[in-house]
Amino acid sequence: MALDSLKWWQTAVFYQIYPRSFADGNGDGIGDLHGIRQKLDDLQSLGVDALWLSPHYPSPQVDCGYDVADYTGVAPEYGDLDTFRSLLEEVHARGMRLILDLVLNHTSDQHPWFQESRSSLDNPKRDWYVWHKGRGGQPPNGWYSTFGGPAWELDPRTGEYYYHFFFKEQPDLNWHNPEVRAALWQAVRFWLDMGVDGFRLDAIGTIFEDPALPESTCPFTLDEMYRRSRLARSAEERLAVQKDWVELFRPQVDQPGMEDLLRELRRVVDEYDDRVLVGESDEIRYCREDMLHLVFNFPLMKTDRLTPAWVLENQRQRLGELPPTAWPCNTLGNHDVPRVYPHFDDGQHGPALARQSLALMLTLRGTPFLYNGEEIGMGDYFIQDPSQFRDPLSLRYYALEQSLLGHAPAEALRYAAENGRDRARTPLAWRNAPNGGFCPAEVTPWLPVNPEYARGVNVADQAADEGSLLNFYRRMLAFRRQHPALIAGDYQPAESGSPDVLAFVRQGEGERLLVVFNMGREAVCVNLSALGEAAEGLFSTQSPRRPAALDRLDALGLAPLEVYIARV
């Protein structure tokens, strides 16, 4: 595609900001909008084009902001609407864009809508949520919440049960009700009228459930499934458990109606110029001209080691299934999964692997999404005291490890810390100072700061080090912007002859670039002469290689874990 025909969200590199942990502007230990404003120059110098702001709405914080109590407000600990307007204005003044998280599946149980809905059987908002009578003193059926326990909660005020796919403090909205749709579209217009550039839609696969309330055909309880998943050792056992997880929740996810709902939302968004909808989904069927602009390529990250075979097969499947008018979207990390650096670190080559991870995101076809902190190689931090957990899932794991598996508290704590979501949500370290410079030394941050900031994993130290990961991010992002073929060009895999070497060509805008990754731990020589006799080296992670040198393609030497980009 021609570069000048692409929309901004097709050419942009997105950067996710977790507001509670990004920058503390008022010194209370909690990140906020003022803190983000103070760091916009840092983000501009990094070279990203668009920001995705995780939930900033008023919330009791049962699920870290994904329990929204007001869709058109700002959490007071983050600022207010005037602060948000100032942030948006300053983002746009720097030539960047801003999209917001939009939580459609559910609200907080503290939202005024739910407070009205639960107040009486005949309240006008009663049908805004999913209510059902019980069966003989029991819930309407045996469905489970994905976060544990029944999916139904008895409300003693009216004697009926409300449905919640997530925590009981997150009642599901009834999207079959036109009034619910109208109310949410009004909230969408509120932010679009203000100038917000779009939305990332949270948990869209759970918006509808089977209205007939059929029982799951899975023969195992939720606790039994947890135990089986923890005890599975072989690939066959893990596959069987995975299939049973799907069956357990089949009546509650990916139900009919989602496509029509997305079309309706798209029509609302299309009332405004140049906005974008990104779905928290890897379902390509939602990526259509009249539905979502982007869905994530989540399968790419679902491995402990990126290999040529893994990447090539992923790209073959994803690009092959995308409709002709659809656009790819790649990511290796976010607030729900391990951070990129520790995820792919093999214990010996972490810095080189982190550079390969970024280079892969910036050279594959599609829009890349990065997560705050990965540019300095932040690691996962495992909390040592269960009282410091802020993710309710960690507390659930801590209890289940002891009650279902008989593990000692210390072992249960280790598992809960390593598998909960707090690990990747700790505050960003800005300098080598107490609390990583996130907040004043005398203030306790909302989550502990990873002490790695004292070992150079902080912005200030890396900004001053030309060879740091941060400066590699800056150079690589600048390089992508300078070469339109990496943005708009076609993707064509190339045969390298080595199982350790990934090679592909990006061609467009009068430029033909060869991108080569040696994903092996040894030096290798490959024959890529099918692409030409020689290549003009443009970029390499191997410092001795000289840019603009002509390299023979019939015997291209690559250092261990080298990324090499050349004009052919």
Residue 150, SS3 per DSSP: strand
Q: Which of 49, 63, 155, 202 is catalytic?
A: 202
The closest of 528, 370, 295, 388 to 29, measured between CA atoms, is: 388
Residue 250 and residue 504: Cα distance in Å, rounded? 38
Q: Please say whether the beta carbons of 483 and 513 come within 8 A.
A: yes
- 193 φ/ψ angles, rounded to the nearest 5 degrees: -60, -35
Give Dmax over CA atoms of the chain in angstroms: 79
Kindly provide the b/e burial profile for residues 532-550, where b requires at least 16 CB atoms within 10 angstroms of the residue's own CB.
eebbebbbbbbeebeeeee
Annotated active-site residue 466? The verdict is no
Q: Please say whether the beta carbons of 51 and 33 come within 8 A.
A: no
Q: Please say whether the beta carbons of 75 and 122 come within 8 A.
A: no
Residue 389 and residue 421: Cα distance in Å, rounded? 9
Angle at which helices 178-194 and 258-269 cross, to 10°: 30
Q: Please say whether the beta carbons of 26 and 440 come within 8 A.
A: no
Angle at which helices 350-363 and 469-482 cross, to 10°: 20
Place of tokens 């993710």: 391
Angle at which helices 392-403 and 409-419 cross, to 10°: 140
Amino acid (1-letter code) at residue 509: E
- 501 φ/ψ angles, rounded to the nearest 5 degrees: -115, 120
Which residues, in sequence order, are bridge partners of residue 534? 552
Q: Where are the alpha helices (DSSP H) in 249-307?
A: 258-269
Place of tokens 């970029």: 539
Q: Which of 63, 280, 374, 500 is catalytic?
A: 280
Q: Is the dihedral of CA 41, 45, 51, 55 positive or negative?
A: negative
Q: Please say whether the beta carbons of 540 and 564 come within 8 A.
A: yes
What DSSP string describes 355-382?
HHHHHHHHHSSSEEEEETTGGGTPPP--
What DSSP string describes 499-527?
TTEEEEEEEETTEEEEEEEE-SSS-EEE-
Annotated active-site residue 280? The verdict is yes
Q: Which long-range contacts (CB under 8 A, 24 or more apart) does 108-114 make?
A: 108/59, 108/60, 108/62, 108/67, 108/68, 108/69, 108/169, 108/170, 109/67, 109/168, 109/169, 109/170, 109/171, 110/60, 110/67, 110/69, 110/169, 111/68, 111/69, 111/70, 112/69, 112/70, 113/183, 114/171
Task: Please give the radius of gyration of the chain, using alpha carbons only, rounded to the nearest integer.
Answer: 24
Kindly list the catalytic residues. 202, 280
